[in-house]
Structures are given as C-alpha cells and as structure tokens.
Amino acid sequence: MKFTKASPLKGEITIPGDKSISHRSVMFGSIAKGTTEISHFLQGADCLSTISCFKKMGIQIENNHDTVIVHGNGLRGLKKPETILDCGNSGTTTRLISGLLAAQDFNVTLTGDESIQKRPMKRIMEPLSLMGADIKSVKENGCAPLSISGKKLHGIHYTSPVASAQIKSCILLAGLYAEGETKVTEPYVSRNHSEIMLNYFGANVKTEGTTACIAPAEELYGNKIVVPGDISSAAYFIAAGLMIPGSEILIKHVGINPTRDGIIHVCRNMGADITLLEVNTDSGEPTADILVKSGSLHGITIGGAIIPTLIDELPMIAAMACLAEGETIIRDAAELKVKESNRIEVMVRNLSAMGADVEETEDGMIIRGGKPLRGAVIDSKLDHRIAMTFAVAGLCAEGETEILGAECVNISYPGFYQDLERLMK
C-alpha cells in the first residue's frame, strides 16, 4: 500500500472497540454464570482468536458484529477441546488463557502463528509453575506451543520483573481457582482492565500501590459491557492531527483509563493542542471525546512509570518525535523488543530510511527531530502497530511511501485505512 503527503485532515471519527477490553469481556463472560452482552466489540483478528478458542471449549458465543453475546458456563464450565487451541497472532489470548487453563481438569495444547511462537512465554510459565501448574514449552524454547495439564493451584505472591498486564492478568485468572490469596507486584502499574472487569463480574480483586490481590471465587456472573474506543488505535489519529499542518480531528468515545492514557500526557508535554470533551467517569472505564489540533511540537524525555501506559503507542510517538524540534529520548522501553516484532529495531531502521536522525539504544531510542521525512519502502514485519505508524508518517513525508505487509492492520483495526482516507476528503 502506498501513501503520499496529505492535505489537512478534518472531521470526526469513532474508533473501534478497545482490544484489551474486548478480549477480557469474552474470556470473563465465558467463565461467568449467565449471559454477557458485549457492545462495540472489536472485530479484529486477535479478538476473533479469543472467541474461537472459547467456542472450542464448549462456550456458545453469538457474534453479531458490533454486539457479541456470550453464554457462560460458569467458573468450572470449560470443556476439553477436541483440537489444539490456535491463538493466532494474539499474545493476550495466549497468556491470559494459560492462567485459566492451568486450573482446569483437562489437558490442552496452545499454539499460534509464527510470531507468537517466537514470543517469550517463560514470563507466565514461571509464576504458574510456582502456583502448582503443569505448563511446558513443547519445543523446550520458552515459547509456544504450550502444553498445559490442569492441576489444583495454590496462591502465591509473585514479584514480576516487568510491568505487564498480560503477566498480571494470567496470574490473577489462575488465582480465581487457587487455594488462598494470589498477589502480583509489578515495578510500575500496568493496565488494570482485568482488575476492573473481574470485580464487575463479582470477583474480589484489591489493589494497593503496584500490587494486585485476588481471592478465590465461587462464581462469576454475566454482565453487560460497552467497550470504549481503543486509545491505542486513537493514537494514530492523534498523531496525524498533530503532525499534518492545518488538521483538526475529533475522536469520539475513547477509553482514557489512567493506566492507558500516557499518549495524551506525552503529547501535551511535547506542546500538543489536545482537549478532552464529554468526559464520562460513571463506569469503571472512563471515556472522553479527544479534540486534536495541529501545531508545533518539541522533544522530551520519556521513561519510567509512564512507559507501561503507552507501550503500544511508542512507535507512533517515535515517528511524531521526528517532526518535533529538538531531541526526544525514549528509555525504559525494552519491552518493545518482544512485541509482534522488535519494535525498537524496526522503527529505527524504517525511520532512518525516511531520512530521520534516530539512534537505537538498549532500552529505547534517541530521536533528533526537526528534519523533513522522505518517502521510502517500509517493511512492516507484519506488525500492525508498525504498519499504522508508517501510514501516518507517509502522509507527512515528501514523495511516496510504500508499506509492505500493510494488511496486517486487520489484527487490531480492520477499517484503519478507510478511516484515514475519510479524514482526507
């Protein structure tokens, strides 16, 4: 797919449902008693992988596109699947479902695509094993496929070396079935969608500082969920609105959970004109309309506790920093190396091809901004975040930008290119 320099972007847009919340709503609805109705569900490939896995374990799920209805079988109602569970490209599916499967009374094998089979799973295998789980890497390389034999589990207090909602959620879900309390302490607080939604379904989750604690549950109960727009998807339109002169974009009903809104804080620190309208904090997941107007940006240093709140948005922030005046330093972001691609390496290579002055570091990158970008051929490495980032960068560059593997955006945002094009008219 090819992109050229764009005129100002104008208009309003509604972003697809949050990927993290869509995943969890199906998972928690499946192990709850009764019916869960999910509105504004994200119909991306990753979330469809979650639906597929739970259907194979005997859960009746009606997918009516925008609305998904899950007929839960209760906390102990999952059935042994007749085939291997294929998680596709979804790390969330693979890691969270492992926590549930570790406590079932059957054996199962989990796998995924080529990318998933390279992503680190020791980070969940170790804490689950400490809880008494029988979980093994089939190829003995610490990656999927994973073989899980359900066992009785006991609670632990696990100190995670990284702030990761996937690790935390995996352990908390195993803790639903464990004997005694289960606690997870992180170096920084990662996104807390699991804690909010588990309590909404009737679990007992408490948080204090960077520690989350769950008590074993007797039962969870189905509920109605309205999925807010995904701020990770909104990030590309926030950046486009800031980077392309003369632009003004209103992004409707976006989730602004404080464990996810780092992109807003970083952009404002860079001098961005961003206004939050129609802020709604009535539910556990706050939302707002985000109004973005273009303007000059300046470089900043990004690191520490804010990193887990914008880990998926860092590629787009890096591209944005190329057009900002001065130097931007991204650090404490080594987690980018174990995403769908090594996002530090891929961003540095592709931004350099576009003429940016960018340097790779051990845990991030240094971007010396203020230089114009030029068109280039971009290898997305079939990473949806990379493809969307360079689609926006291509609209700011002189000449033509071609993205190889551009269709990978279907993982999280099937209508991305159409929505971007609509704002150009």
Edge-first strand listing for the sheet containing 401-404? 2-3, 401-404, 377-379
The packing angle between helices 231-243 and 262-269, to 10°, is: 20
HEC-encoded secondary structure of 362-386: CCEEEEECCCCCECCEEECCCCHHH
CB burial readout 343-364, b (16+ within 10 A) else e = bbebbbebbebbbbebeeeeeb
312 carries a ligand binding annotation: yes
- State the residue for tokens 């551009």: 406
Q: Flag whether 168 is marked binding.
A: no
19 is in an annotated binding site: yes
Indicate the pairing of strand 182-185 with strand 85-86: unpaired
Q: Which residues pair with 284 in a beta bridge?
A: none
Cβ atoms < 10 Å from Cβ of 384: 28
Q: Using CA atoms, how far apart are residues 27 and 38, in angstroms rounded to an integer?
A: 12
- What torsion, rounded to 10 degrees, do the Cα atoms 15, 17, 18, 23 define? -160
Nearest to 277 by CA among 256, 246, 306: 256
Question: Can you read off the two tokens belonging to residue 4?
Answer: 């050229």
Tell whether residue 343 is among the known ligand binding residues: yes
Helix (H, G, I), strand (E, B) or coil at 409: helix
247 is in an annotated binding site: no
**Annotated binding residue 191:** no
For this structure, is 312 an active site residue?
A: yes
| DSSP one-letter string for 292-342 | EE----B--EE-GGGGGGSGGGHHHHHHHHHTSBSEEEE-S-GGGGGSSS-
Q: Is 385 labeled as ligand-binding? A: yes
Residues facing 166 on adjacent strands: none
Task: List the catalytic residue out of 312, 357, 379, 419.
Answer: 312
20 is in an annotated binding site: yes
Q: Which parts are annotated binding residues for 3-phosphoshikimate? A: 19-20, 24, 164, 166, 312, 339
Q: Which residues form the catalytic set? A: 312
Q: Which parts are annotated binding residues? A: 19-20, 24, 91, 119, 164, 166, 312, 339, 343, 385
Q: Which parts are annotated binding residues for phosphoenolpyruvate? A: 19, 91, 119, 166, 343, 385
